[in-house]
Amino acid sequence: MPKIDYKLYYKEHRDVMSARSLNRYYENKQKCNDRHKEYYLENREYLRNKANTKYQCECGGRYSYSTKSRHLKTNKHIKFTTPL
């Protein structure tokens, strides 16, 4: 049996695969939303603590989990981490 080249197969069947994926999304949208809500309700305290935890950076700045990528782009952090 010949080996399947998945990248080539995807390029040739992209329209069919994307339509199938979109149909699956709309068919299971409510189920997926319910699953996300249930997870959030079960783990609400953990998720809130994770979002509000403050981290101390090596540059002397403080940031929360949700703003880490923004902090890493600041001039203060960039100047501190670049070698002289």
Over residues 31-58, mean pLDDT? 94
Place of tokens 């994307």: 18
Asked if the structure places residue 17 within a domain, the reply is yes
User: Alpha-carbon distance 18 to 13, whole Å?
Assistant: 9
What is the rounded CA–CA span in Å between residue 66 and residue 61? 15
Whether residue 13 contacts residue 21, with contact meaning beta carbons closer than 8 Å, is answered with no
**Res 3: pLDDT:** 82
The distance in angstroms from the start CA to the end CA of the chain is: 58
The number of distinct structural domains making up the chain is 1
The residue range of the domain holding 6 is 1-42
User: Does residue 58 lie in a domain region?
Assistant: no
Instruction: Please report whether residue 48 resides in a domain.
Output: no
Residue 84 has pLDDT above 80, yes or no: no
